[in-house]
């Protein structure tokens, strides 16, 4: 069987030659030839092409998927206002509730928080003063738990072009600077939602001061599809609807679930932060008072100097932004009860007040200190920090008569 032996010898020789060459090949060359390496190279080339062409850059941030937060509802209503409201109120629930409770009493009606982001009372007082027509509106963009960084993000994301107000009235308190219930500014619902409207590269070290807090953002800077995952989701969804709509229309029938009010059947924590019907403000609520000291001790009963410096930085940025956009900024130190101030760390309130006064004075902003104003008494509060409608009316009367307002 010489022929078979020759073939076996030939195969063995070829195998030996292949093994010799493989052993002699550099390791780097072996790695470069592997399918995994080629796949990585193709992925990097695709990623570079996407960054150069920016195919998802024109997706409207308004249609990106978003949970229904307090910020989302306020933003939807604000962007529908054309022309922009000349006066916008910014701040936390200290501002929000006082204004809304007074409006409910003034209008003599209950209303849903998610659909009433206005101060009709303040607007009417300004009309009385300036004799303006009915299109003068005052938008209440104050949000529960707002930090100064959230106020800045509202202004940065929305207050420009046709949506720029003439005046911004910013209500502040120490809690807005040192809330110990917040991990970092970049993780709040307002910041997470509003960052889709603006490039936040210059804010990263301030909003996410720890390296591990920046991982998601930094990953998005490297990988295009990670950064644009919401935009990609929208594009795929729109393409699927366009492709499948004729098929669905021909074989599908309306579902009985279409008539189901999901808000009454799905736990609220599974779909959104707040929905229609979940936060109704009642007109003419009977007087009650609960100091709620436990929550305030948790939030601002201990010093948080790192967060304070960050929020003071955001206040300076907000002042600069208003200057740039030619928006008149009025800074208001909100009234508190003496009991609320007493639970704050020693010297912290004085430090806070001195800081906002210096920032206001150094930038020629109007500053008003309503805390300690004898017009505000304990009966104007429903807890140790939040004013009821009586306190809200007093505050709005003060604002309506500010000499700096010219509408």
Q: What angle do CA 249, 254, 258 make, to 5 degrees?
A: 135
Task: Classify residue 267: in a domain, yes or no.
Answer: no
Task: Classify residue 233: in a domain, yes or no.
Answer: no
Residues 101 and 179 in one domain: yes
Residues 35 and 109 in one domain: no
Q: Which uninterrupted H or E stretch holds 369?
A: strand 366-369
Q: What gap in Å lies between CA 219 and CA 221, rounded to an integer?
A: 5
Left if phi > 0, otherwise alpha if psi is -120 to 50, otherwise beta: which for 149?
A: alpha
Tell me the C-alpha to C-alpha distance, in Å, between residue 295 and each of 52, 111, 188, 279, 299. Answer: 49, 27, 18, 20, 6
Intra-chain end-to-end CA distance of the chain, in Å: 110
Residues 6 or more apart whose Cβ sits within 8 Å of residue 221: 227
Q: What gap in Å lies between CA 93 and CA 95, rounded to an integer?
A: 5
Q: What gap in Å lies between CA 91 and CA 151, rounded to an integer?
A: 7
Residues 39 and 129 in one domain: no
Give how many domains the chain has, as a whole number.
2
Residues 20 and 149 in one domain: no
User: What are 157's two structure tokens?
Assistant: 């994301």
Q: What is the pTM of this model?
A: 0.81
Task: Classify residue 238: in a domain, yes or no.
Answer: no
Q: What gap in Å lies between CA 261 and CA 43, rounded to an integer?
A: 45
Q: What angle do CA 275, 276, 279 make, to 5 degrees?
A: 85
Q: What gap in Å lies between CA 245 and CA 160, rounded to an integer?
A: 38
Residues 192 and 46 in one domain: no
Task: Classify residue 84: in a domain, yes or no.
Answer: yes
Task: Classify residue 299: in a domain, yes or no.
Answer: yes
Domain residue limits at 148: 61-211+275-400
Q: What gap in Å lies between CA 102 and CA 293, rounded to an integer?
A: 24
User: What are 267's two structure tokens?
Assistant: 């736990």
Q: For the domain that residue 178 is a member of, what is the CATH number?
A: 3.40.50.1110
Task: Classify residue 241: in a domain, yes or no.
Answer: no
Q: What gap in Å lies between CA 127 and CA 370, rounded to an integer?
A: 24
**Across the 407 residues of the chain, what is the mean pLDDT of every consecutive 10-residue run?**
54 56 55 68 68 66 78 95 94 96 97 94 94 84 96 97 96 95 91 92 89 76 66 63 68 55 44 84 95 93 93 97 96 96 94 96 91 94 97 97 92
Q: At what angle do helices 305-325 and 148-158 cross, to 10 degrees?
A: 30
Residues 82 and 35 in one domain: no
Tell me the C-alpha to C-alpha distance, in Å, between residue 386 and each of 19, 120, 336. Answer: 81, 20, 8
Residues 23 and 73 in one domain: no
Residues 196 and 113 in one domain: yes
Domain boundary pick from 32, 53, 74: 53
Cis peptide before 297 (omega within 30 of 0): no
Domain boundary pick from 53, 69, 96: 53
Task: Classify residue 146: in a domain, yes or no.
Answer: yes
Residues 27 and 68 in one domain: no
SS3 content of the chain, % helix, strand, coil (to 5): 60, 5, 35
b/e 291-310 (16+ beta carbons within 10 angstroms → b):
bebeebeebbbebbeebbeb
Q: What gap in Å lies between CA 137 and CA 124, rounded to an integer?
A: 9
Residues 127 and 15 in one domain: no
Task: Classify residue 244: in a domain, yes or no.
Answer: no
Residues 130 and 155 in one domain: yes
Q: What gap in Å lies between CA 198 and CA 106, rounded to an integer?
A: 37
Q: What gap in Å lies between CA 21 and CA 349, rounded to an integer?
A: 77
Beta strands in 71-152 (DSSP E): 87-90, 111-112, 138-140
Residues 23 and 156 in one domain: no
């Amino acid at each position: 069987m010489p022929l078979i032996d020759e073939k076996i010898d030939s195969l063995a020789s070829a195998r030996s030659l292949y093994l010799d060459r493989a052993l002699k090949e550099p390791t780097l060359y072996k790695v470069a030839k592997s399918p995994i390496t080629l796949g990585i190279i193709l992925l990097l080339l695709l990623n570079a092409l996407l960054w150069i062409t920016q195919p998802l850059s024109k997706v409207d941030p308004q249609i990106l998927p978003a949970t229904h937060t307090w910020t989302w509802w306020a933003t939807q209503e604000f962007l529908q206002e054309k022309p922009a409201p000349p006066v916008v109120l910014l701040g936390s629930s200290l501002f929000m509730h006082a204004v809304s409770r007074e409006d409910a009493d003034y209008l003599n009606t209950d209303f849903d928080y998610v659909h009433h982001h206005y101060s009709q009372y303040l607007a009417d007082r300004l009309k009385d003063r300036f004799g303006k027509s009915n299109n003068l509106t005052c938008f209440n963009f104050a949000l529960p738990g707002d930090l100064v960084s959230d106020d800045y993000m509202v202004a940065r994301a929305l207050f420009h072009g046709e949506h720029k107000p003439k005046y911004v009235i910013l209500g502040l308190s120490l809690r807005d600077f040192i809330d110990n219930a917040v991990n970092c500014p970049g993780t709040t619902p307002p910041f997470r939602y509003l960052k889709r409207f603006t490039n936040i590269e210059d804010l990263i070290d301030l909003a996410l001061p720890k390296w591990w807090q920046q991982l998601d953002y930094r990953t998005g800077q490297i990988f295009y599809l990670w950064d644009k995952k919401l935009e990609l989701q929208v594009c795929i969804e729109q393409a699927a609807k366009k492709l499948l709509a004729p098929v669905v229309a021909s074989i599908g029938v309306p579902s009985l679930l279409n008539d189901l009010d999901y808000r009454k059947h799905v736990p609220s924590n599974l779909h959104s932060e707040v929905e229609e019907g979940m936060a109704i403000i009642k007109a003419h609520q009977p007087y009650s008072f609960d100091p709620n000291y436990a929550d305030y001790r948790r939030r601002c009963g201990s010093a948080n100097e790192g967060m304070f410096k960050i929020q003071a930085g955001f206040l300076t940025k907000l002042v600069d932004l208003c200057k740039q956009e030619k928006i008149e900024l009025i800074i208001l130190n909100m009234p508190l009860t003496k009991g609320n101030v007493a639970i704050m760390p020693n010297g912290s309130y004085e430090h806070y007040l001195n800081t906002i006064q210096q920032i206001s004075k150094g930038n020629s902003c109007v500053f008003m200190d309503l805390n300690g104003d004898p017009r505000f008494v304990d009966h104007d509060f429903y807890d140790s920090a939040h004013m009821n409608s009586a306190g809200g009316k007093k505050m709005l009367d003060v604002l309506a008569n500010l000499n700096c307002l010219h509408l």
